[in-house]
Each structure stands twice: as structure tokens, then as C-alpha cells.
A and B are shown apart, each in its own frame.
Chain A
Amino acid sequence: MRHDPTVSSTLEPERYEFCAPTTHRFELQRRDFFKLLGAGVLIISAVPEAIARQESGARAPQFGEPLPKEISAWLHIGENGVTTVYTGKVEIGQNIRTSLAQAVAEELRFPLERIELVMGDTQLTPYDMGTFGSRTTPTMNLQLRKVSAAARETLLALAAKQWNVDAGGLVASDGKITDPGTKRTVQYADLVRGQQLSQIIPADDPLIPASQWTVEGQSIAKVDARDFVTGKHRYPSDQTAPGMLYGKVLRPPSFGATLVSVDAPSQDFVNDVTFVHDGDFVGVAAASSEAAAQAVAAIHATWKEQPQPSRTELFDYLKNSPVEAKGFEGASRYETGSVDQALASADHRLKQTYHVNYIAHAPLEPRAALAQWSGETLTVWTGTQRPFAVRTELAQALRIPEDRIRVLMPDMGSAYGGKHTGECAVEAARLARAANRPIKLVWTREEEFTWAYFRPAGVIEISGGVGLDGMIAAWEFTNYNSGAAGIRTFYDIPNQRIVFQPTRYPLRQGSYRALAATANHFARESFMDEMAHAVGQDPLEFRLKNLKDERLRAVFQAAAEKFGWGHAQPAVGHGFGIGGGFEKGGNVATCAEVAIDPSTSEVRIVRVVVAFECGAIVNPDNLKSQILGGNVMGIGGALFEAIDFDNGRVLNARFSKYRVPRFSDVPQIDVVLVDRKDLPSTGAGETPLVGLAPAVGNAIFNATGKRIRSLPMAPHGIKSA
């Protein structure tokens, strides 16, 4: 069931990852690089497709080759003693600015503090589809290790030539090369002085094995942390430009409403307000955000509303609205053995339905953009996980060529899969063109809760057949709408039918941290618990009995051991639960203890143990933070988060109405890191959270005997769930 994360280094799009076609574009020529960067050594990493094409020409890449069209990253070692790395990946709080610098420092043998990363700038960095899918560590980290190893070998060759010795006897360390025989030493910066050397990899220079890492594998703190604790860092919403005005967009009263008519406010209502009406788009630009908001409030617009589905009918709507979709959004079906026959002949048969509500990402920084025109060229600073895709959106919306647009992504205030799109950038750019001034547009929290997109709701049906011996014989699993990520079972079951059915859906939906793996793990691991109870077995034993995968078994056992599973009994009103799984190259197992308040029936999570394994660990402390953070965030979707909507209106588009986890919701969380230095490093931003909801649900059952099959499980305690 496991697919090998190393099989493809390019991204495998999944349903609900918002994706655009890969429109590779690369304008810089080799000489332009050195004009831009100054003299030095330049190493360029080509992605496999480009490599394949080059190799088909039966010629190895050499110095001076024309640049390949598909490039994943490049690195420049300058005369000034600074190494600059260019990658289209972006920093959204997962701290890859730090972990990627670690990869470079390790292989290049170069001081971490003199490495600069240029990230997510469509003019300066290579094309990248986006920062999502937990792909940065398995792909970009590996690419940068290769680039850096090639750079190190190039520098060794340069030194060997200069000293007329064999490169094999030289040592690279801490940004300099030493000849142990003669004790001669040369700094990289001196070695590259006046050089204009470029090289295209892949090269087969040896990578340093994880067991010998000295920088990777260490808990390095966020590289530019001081700027963040002093308020100096400028997030997308903090960007400014001379002469800048503030934008504001008039929103329809409900989803699907179309504009019938609009009257511009009289121009003297507020001084210097620019008013834009273009199709269904209505917005203003003004000298302050408050003036812009007042101007929009004064606009008289008439809208034609369309009836829209409401939350009360959500699950029937999804179940009864199948659609045919193509490509990665299409239906999927996996079948093995004879599931109907095996179900019919099983000793125990179970059938259950699970529901998952819509939830919002609610990144603390809402969508924000600063757009600036200079003649016919446009520059936009915006918070997005996909700067190159935003450039495409801007080109299409504004009808200008992509090469006149530059999108920059300052390290932003988080996203969680929720900022794959460029709505705010497009709006700011449209207003800026009309106002002929730079425009900053920051969405309000209400706009973010309403006009962004949501994690898909879903209905999941499972039928299972299990023998008296506790062996699962049959497994039938159908997911309506919520997504196909993590849909396959990792238990060894001879007869399976696993279906993802796309449907029509009432709200705009898209990627969310871990995608549908959260919903699919919730349903699967809850159902596993139900089957374990049906045959009278301990839930952990039952899982291990049906599970051969050694990596997954290892995390289940590690979590259980730390938790004390099977030793202690829960106190009165408390319950224990377990859940886990495999997704995006990571293995997770989660144990939870809950307590039910006898008077209010509120569920409190008392303690969580998470064991996680993602190959060789690049940065243990940051990994621990990702695991803690994913589980804290996951508490909301598990227990109380849900978008409430009625006839095209979101009813709880504020933090005062939409409850997200706060300090008092956070339990003791113990993290067990399983470090597999013998395995490639994979991503960790998503998978650690998928075990939480089923572990908590199973613990609620353990405490109360009540099985809750809907997320969120206890928005107002479990009585009304």
C-alpha cells in the first residue's frame, strides 16, 4: 500500500491541491547570472525531465553548457564570502529557510550564517509549482544537497589546480580548503575571485550520509529569529511603497450573487477616493484603510442572489450529487480480491458512515498584497504558497504577458494549504492600475473566513468483515467529496474496494494541511476501533495483528510504550484512544487521553503522545515543533471547528464565533521522534496531525461508550454531537 516517496521527485498533484500546469519559463542567460551575482562559482540543479532530455543527446553536462529550461535551484558562491541559494520554495512558518540552509552548510562545508536564501521571487528564483504536499524536504532539500556537494567538489578541483596537487588529498571545511600535507589554506571567497565558472548538475558527487551529518540533524533555531521577536520582519501585509494607497473590495452579499447595478459614491464623499467598477468587480483605493472601508460602505449596489445549499442539508447534498471529474480531481477506485464475497462470509460485519464538516484555515495573517505598476510592468508582493501560479493568475486576469509581472513572497504569516491562490494579488493589481498608485490590500478576517476556500466536507462509508480470530477479511471504503489523500488502508486485508467519488459541493474548497488524509484516517482508524471492540480485542493488538509494515508498527509501538498503553487504566470519566497511519512519507501513531466534564459533557484532551518517523531527521527541534503544532491545530478540527453556512452566507466568519484552539485547549503533548538515518528524509508539516482525531474519538468512546462519527466531535460537549 505504501508508495515510495523517492519514486518521483516532481510533485504528484492530489485532489484539492490547487495546481496549475507547469509553464516553465526561464529568461536568464548564463552571462546574466554573473552580471546579477558578480563573479564566483555557480552551480545549477536541473530537474530530472531536463536531465533526461540532455542525456538523450548522449552528452554529459559540462561547464559552459546552455542552461536547461527546467531548473529546480541554483547556488552561487561569491567573492564576498557569501553563498546565495535561489529556490522557488517559500517560507510560511515551516522553517525551511533554516532547514534548507542546513542542507547547504552541510554539503558545502560552509558557515550557516553566511548562507542567504532567496525564495519565492518569480524574477530571481527558478520556477516552482508551489510549497505544498510536504515536498520541500524530500525534493528541494535533496536538490540543494546535490548542488552543494557539486559546488564543494568544484572548489576542491579549483584548489587542487591552483596548488598543483591531487584534489583527493584536500579537505573542505568551514568555508575554506586545506591541504593537510602543506598546511596551506584558502578561503572559498579567495578561490572564486575573478572566476565565472558555472556547472550544471546532476553530478554523482557523494552526499554525506546522515550518520555523518554535523549541521543537518541538529536543532538549529530559525535563522532570522531576531527579526521576528523585534517586529522588524516585514510580512506581506507589512509591505509599503512610496505613494501607496489602501484598497478595499465590495463583496457580494452571498455566494453566487451577481452584480445588477452599482452607483459610484459622489467623488466628494471622501477626498481622493478612486472607484473601480469592472465586470462584477467593485472596489476603491483611498489614503487609509479606514477611508477605503468608509468609501466601500457608501457604495449602493444591487445584487441578484441565487439560492445556495445550506449546512443543514450538507451531507445529503454531497451524497446525492456525484459528478464526473477528470484528471487528478477525478474518481479513483482500487479493488483487490472479492470484497462482496468476503463480506458475506465474514464472522462479524460492520457498516458505518462518517461525516466531516467544512473548516477554515484561518491563518493569523489574512491574504495581503501590495501591487505596484511601472508603465506596463507589474510587481506584486503577496502572501502565497505558489508565487509562480499567482503570476499566471495575474497575467490572465489583467491580460498582460507573464514576463511583465514579478511576484515576490516575503516570509508570511502561515497558510496551512490555504494560500495557493492569488485573489488578493489580482484585486490589488486591478485597483493599482486604476489608481495609478501602489495599492496595499489586506483582507479582513471576515473576508478571509468567507472568500478564501475551505477544507472539503465529506461523507465516508465503510463496511468491514472480520473473523473471530481478529483478522480483517474485507474492507470497503467510499469517500464522497472530501478527497483521496490517504484513502488506501495500510492494513493487510485480502479483499478491498476503495473508492473516491467526486461530488458537487456548496462551498469553495481546496487544499488544507494533510488534505483528506485527516478525514480518511479519522474514519478508518475509528472503524478499526469499532472492529476491535466487535471481536473483543485490544485496539492496539488488533491493529498490530493486521499490520505488517515495519515502519508503521514501530511508531505504534513507540507511542504505546511512551503512553503506557495496556498498563494504566483511565480514571473515572477519562478514556484512552489510539490511532495512526502513513501519508506523504511519514509514519505517525497517536495516543490520547480525554476527560469528560460530568456536568457540561465538554471534552478536554488531557494528554497526547505522538510518535513520528520521517526518515533521517533534518532538524529535531523544528520537527518536534511541527508535530506539536499540527496536533494543536488538529484539536480544532477534531473537537469544535466547523463552518456554519446558510443559503450562501457564512454565519460564523469571526474568531468570536468560530472557535479555534487556545492555550486552555492544549494538553500535555509528548513527542517521540523515531530517527531513521538509513532512510531518506521526508516531509513533516502535514502527516503528524492525522492520528489525533481518531485517537481522541476512540478515547471518547473508551470514556463514555458513545461513538462519535462526525467531525467536529464535540462542539458543545458530546451530548449534542
Chain B
Amino acid sequence: MAKIQKLRVNGTERAIDADPQSSLLTVLREQLDMTGSKYGCGEGQCGACTVLINGTARRSCITTVGSTEGREITTIEGLEHHGRLHPVQDAFLAEGAALQCAYCASGMIMSAVALLKTNPHPSEQEIAAAMEGNLCRCGTNPRIIAAILRASQAHQEAGA
């Protein structure tokens, strides 16, 4: 089986050397030292490893590297542009107590970024539904919903 030798991550082509069946999360973490995406379960149940693939939220732990050929991968490390955080990152900071251990935060933020792309002004119920696949064991869920609402409002104000 031919090895996969390149990956397009955060706008840059990166050299890798991986079996097509290798998990994207493992390759990101072990070959590219991009540790912002987290391991939590290995079965797509907790969302800690969430990345965007062509703009859509995907669980990188159950995504094979082979399936990402020719696609654009965005990780938490790629949200910041020229020193400016993404509005969702800003909102998590502004809703300061949204962060306890914050191990879930990368995945939460990536899922929220994907949500706001397709639904810029979600209701609380729509946010909760969209975030159902992301676990926070510290129980910051109400603060995370508040942060995503805050991000959507910032988006609205910026657009107005």
C-alpha cells in the first residue's frame, strides 16, 4: 500500500510518511507535532480531536489520512491569523470561565467554528444540538453555549 507523503494543513503542504489507514489525529500529533488536537476516546465519541476538513467538522481520530488527500485540513493551530484570534477563540476568552481544564477546548472551538459557518446565528437549542458530540467532563457546557452565542453576536455586529 502506497504511503501518504503529504498533507495540506492550515494552508501549508506538510511532508509526512504514513500508511493511508493511519489516523489523522495520530499523524498530526506524532509526525507534525501539532498537539492542539487531543485524543479523548479514539472512537469519535468525545470530539476532543475535532478538525475541519474542507470546512466541515470531522473527528480526526477516526479519519484516515488516506481519505484527506487533496483536502484542506484546519486545526486549532490554524485559526489564528496574523496574531488575530478567530472570533470563537476571542469569545472563549471573553467568557473566561468557559475554561476549566480546557482539554476539550480545541475540539469545542473547532466544532463551533464549523457551526457558525453554516448557521451564523444559532439559537441556544441549535448550539446544544450541534455540540452534542463534544464532551466536557468539567461540565462547562453552559459557559460554552454562552461563548458560542457571544461569538455569533460578535459576528453579527462585525457584519452589520
Q: Which A-chain residue is minimally distant from B90 (CB atoms)?
A: A229
How many residue pairs link A and B with beta carbons under 8 A? The number is 176
A-B contact pairs, 17 of them (CB 8 A): A93-B100, A93-B138, A225-B102, A228-B99, A228-B102, A229-B109, A231-B77, A363-B137, A365-B101, A411-B101, A442-B39, A445-B43, A628-B143, A630-B139, A632-B136, A660-B137, A663-B129
Closest Cβ–Cβ distance, residue A284 to chain B (whole Å):
16
Inter-chain CA distance A225–B105, complex, in Å, is 11
> Which of A231, A246, A290, A661 has most B Cβ within 10 Å?
A231
Inter-chain CA distance A631–B141, complex, in Å, is 11
If over half of B's interface residues share one DSSP class (helix, strand or loop), that class is named, otherwise mixed; here it is: loop
Is the pair A629, B35 in contact by a Cβ cutoff of 8 Å? no
On chain B, the residues within 8 Å of A233 by CB distance are 102
B138 contact from A225, A234, A629, A656, Cβ within 8 A: A629
A412 contacts B by Cβ under 8 Å: yes
B45 contacts A by Cβ under 8 Å: yes
Is the pair B40, A656 in contact by a Cβ cutoff of 8 Å? no
A178 contacts B by Cβ under 8 Å: no
Size category, A interface? 35 or more
A664-B132 in contact given A221-B96, A414-B101 (Cβ < 8 Å): yes
Inter-chain CA distance A413–B90, complex, in Å, is 21
On chain B, the residues within 8 Å of A655 by CB distance are 40-41, 43, 45-46, 135
Inter-chain CA distance A629–B45, complex, in Å, is 20
On chain A, the residues within 8 Å of B140 by CB distance are 625, 628-629, 632
B76 contacts A by Cβ under 8 Å: yes
B window 61-75: CB within 8 A of A: 75
- Which of B1-9, B22-30, B152-160 contacts its partner? B22-30
Inter-chain CA distance A412–B104, complex, in Å, is 11
Is the pair A221, B93 in contact by a Cβ cutoff of 8 Å? yes
A621 contacts B by Cβ under 8 Å: yes
Is the pair B100, A625 in contact by a Cβ cutoff of 8 Å? yes
What 0/1 pattern do residues 356 to 392 of A give for CB contact below 8 A with B? Answer: 0000011111100000000000000000000000000
A633 contact from B93, B105, B138, Cβ within 8 A: B138
Is the pair B141, A624 in contact by a Cβ cutoff of 8 Å? no
A621-B96 in contact given A229-B85, A240-B33, A663-B131 (Cβ < 8 Å): yes
A221-B97 in contact given A365-B40, A632-B139, A656-B43 (Cβ < 8 Å): yes
Is the pair A290, B103 in contact by a Cβ cutoff of 8 Å? no
> Which of A229, A238, A363, A626 has most B Cβ within 10 Å?
A229
Closest 6 CB pairs of A and B: A231-B36, A93-B101, A221-B96, A632-B139, A413-B103, A629-B139
B116 contacts A by Cβ under 8 Å: no
If over half of A's interface residues share one DSSP class (helix, strand or loop), that class is named, otherwise mixed; here it is: loop
Is the pair B36, A230 in contact by a Cβ cutoff of 8 Å? yes
Closest Cβ–Cβ distance, residue A238 to chain B (whole Å):
4
Inter-chain CA distance A93–B103, complex, in Å, is 9
Inter-chain CA distance A232–B34, complex, in Å, is 9
Is the pair B100, A95 in contact by a Cβ cutoff of 8 Å? yes
Closest Cβ–Cβ distance, residue B43 to chain A (whole Å):
6
Closest Cβ–Cβ distance, residue B117 to chain A (whole Å):
18
A92 contact from B36, B42, B79, B101, Cβ within 8 A: B101
Given contacts A413-B101, A664-B128, 15 further A-B contacts (CB under 8 A): A93-B101, A93-B102, A229-B92, A235-B103, A364-B38, A444-B42, A624-B97, A629-B138, A633-B138, A655-B43, A655-B135, A662-B135, A663-B134, A666-B139, A669-B142
Q: Which B-chain residue is minimally distant from A288 (CB atoms)?
A: B30
Is the pair A412, B45 in contact by a Cβ cutoff of 8 Å? no
Closest Cβ–Cβ distance, residue A257 to chain B (whole Å):
24
A275 contacts B by Cβ under 8 Å: no
On chain A, the residues within 8 Å of B128 by CB distance are 663-664, 666
Is the pair A231, B145 in contact by a Cβ cutoff of 8 Å? no
Is the pair B89, A229 in contact by a Cβ cutoff of 8 Å? yes
Q: Which A-chain residue is minimally distant from B77 (CB atoms)?
A: A231
A3 contacts B by Cβ under 8 Å: no
A416 contacts B by Cβ under 8 Å: yes
Is the pair A290, B97 in contact by a Cβ cutoff of 8 Å? no
A719 contacts B by Cβ under 8 Å: no
Inter-chain CA distance A661–B46, complex, in Å, is 11
A window 237-285: CB within 8 A of B: 237-238, 240, 246
